Amino acid sequence: MSRRVLRPAVAWCVAALAAVAALSAGDGKAVRRPLYPSDFPAAAGRDIASRSCLICHSASLVTQQAKDSTGWEKTLGQMEKWGVRLTPAEHDTLRGYLLARFGPHGVK
């Protein structure tokens, strides 16, 4: 297959797996959330995420990541290299928010 065919197919598979993972919470109960959210769920750190992330891309790009602490740390470091301005306290709050809401165990 060519890369033109593979890239959309891979992107679709990743989105589908993220949607399935989002429906399964740690307690086994189904969690309903928008497949393509336009904003972040309420919690400490939401304002920082909205201000820092939504200037370049949609919330749905962030919400489907399911990264662990190291993954979010690397992502935040890269975003800061690309121009996102965060204080050390904002960085830590945002990493904690992203991990709690979009960590490897799905959305809470």
Q: Which range among 4-13, 44-53, 94-103 shows the weakest confidence by mean pLDDT? A: 4-13
Q: Which range among 75-79, 80-84, 102-106 shows the weakest confidence by mean pLDDT? A: 102-106
The contacts of residue 80 (CB under 8 Å, 6+ apart) are: 86, 91
pLDDT tens for residues 35-74?
677 889 999 999 999 999 999 999 999 988 899 999 999 9
Report residue 14's pLDDT band, with 50, 70 and 90 as the boundaries: very low
Does pLDDT of 86 surpass 90?
yes
Cα–Cα distance for residue pair 77/65, rounded to 1 Å: 16
Share of the chain above pLDDT 90, in %: 56
